Amino acid sequence: MISDRLLAGDIRAAARLMRMADDREPGVRDELKRLYPHTGKAHIVGVTGNPGSGKSTLVDMLIRKLRDAGKTVGVVAIDPSSPFTGGAILGDRIRMQRHSADPGVFIRSLATRGHLGGLTRSTNDVVTILDAMGFDTILIETVGVGQDEVDVVKTAHTSVVVLVPGLGDEIQIMKAGILEIADIFVVNKADRGGAERVVAELQTLQDLLSQSAGRAQVPVLKTVAPTNTGIEELTQAILAHREAAIASGDYRRREETRLREMVASIVREAAARRFAAQFSNADDQGGLTKALLDRTTSPWDVADAIGAREVRQPCR
């Protein structure tokens, strides 16, 4: 079994199983089931933010600081999909290649394959594998899709939101729901003009949210990733958040949320596959697409019928 080889420390088995999970190869679910009892120890940290905010460089420097702190680190770097192959454009892994010879670091790039929300369909599976491998911290760097990148809060124990000055859309974070998901804000590229204004806006928005919803303030840190400025403070803030969450019981609640969302994701994917098969079969037999185009049946009727597992013949 590949899972047995992985648990024995075989790195190639881990890479193979991640590929199987990403490609949805037969038998991968059974392998993941065998790994699940060996999980639950890793601290999962999501790093999210707009494109161009410097997330990859920030993660690269975070790896170094976490290693200095004695932590082993697994990284899931979500890359855009190639329009030609559907695979990951490996920009993130190229940036982090300095860690490739470190046995305490494992980096995996995944393609979005059209999945929205900043993650991929196999993110949870790869996190499961890295957790079973015994990594202390798992960093998930989202793809950078902009204002809808909030799925990471359902997958991570600690969410780091990265912003930069000068993009002209700082106030949009409130519309995006980004303000609510952050456990730590990072104003990266803080050597640029306008960094203090972004910090002030974040603090003002947090004050408003605190008054209206009773949400506690979260740290707002400034970093300049290429020069290592502020990375030590960020590393300590991440580790401190974990300890505080464990002490308050919030860490367990987040793990419960993560696992429920993982189950929901598995169910949604299975339901989508069943729907596609049923619709294709009904279309072949009854010409559903033509009936929809001719307006002799409606999308609601078709959805209801497929949901009931009996697709009726188009209306005449």
Q: Which CATH number fits domain 39-248: 3.30.360.10, 3.40.50.300, 1.10.10.60, 3.40.50.10860?
A: 3.40.50.300
Cα separations in angstroms, 213 against 71, 170, 205, 217, 271: 35, 21, 12, 11, 36
Read off the pTM: 0.85
**pLDDT one-digit tens code per residue, 211-238:** 776 677 899 999 999 999 999 999 999 9
Mean pLDDT of the chain: 84
Helix (H) or strand (E) holding 187: strand 184-187
pLDDT score of 124 more than 60 = yes
Q: In this predicted structure, which of 130-139, 251-260, 302-311 has the lowest mean pLDDT?
A: 302-311
Highest mean pLDDT among 52-56, 236-240, 266-270 belongs to 236-240
Give residues with Cβ within 8 angstroms of 224, minimum separation 6. Answer: 188, 189, 190, 191, 230
Token pair listed for 116:
């929205």
β-bridge mates for residue 163, sequence order? 187
Instruction: For Cα atoms 81, 86, 90, give the angle at the middle one, nearest 5 degrees.
Output: 50
Token pair listed for 141:
């760097």
Q: What is the widest separation between alpha-carbon atoms in the chain?
A: 71
In this predicted structure, what is the pLDDT of residue 119? 54
The residue ranges of every structural domain in the chain are 1-34, 39-248, 250-316
In this predicted structure, what is the pLDDT of residue 20? 95
Q: In this predicted structure, which of 47-61, 101-115, 279-293 has the lowest mean pLDDT?
A: 101-115
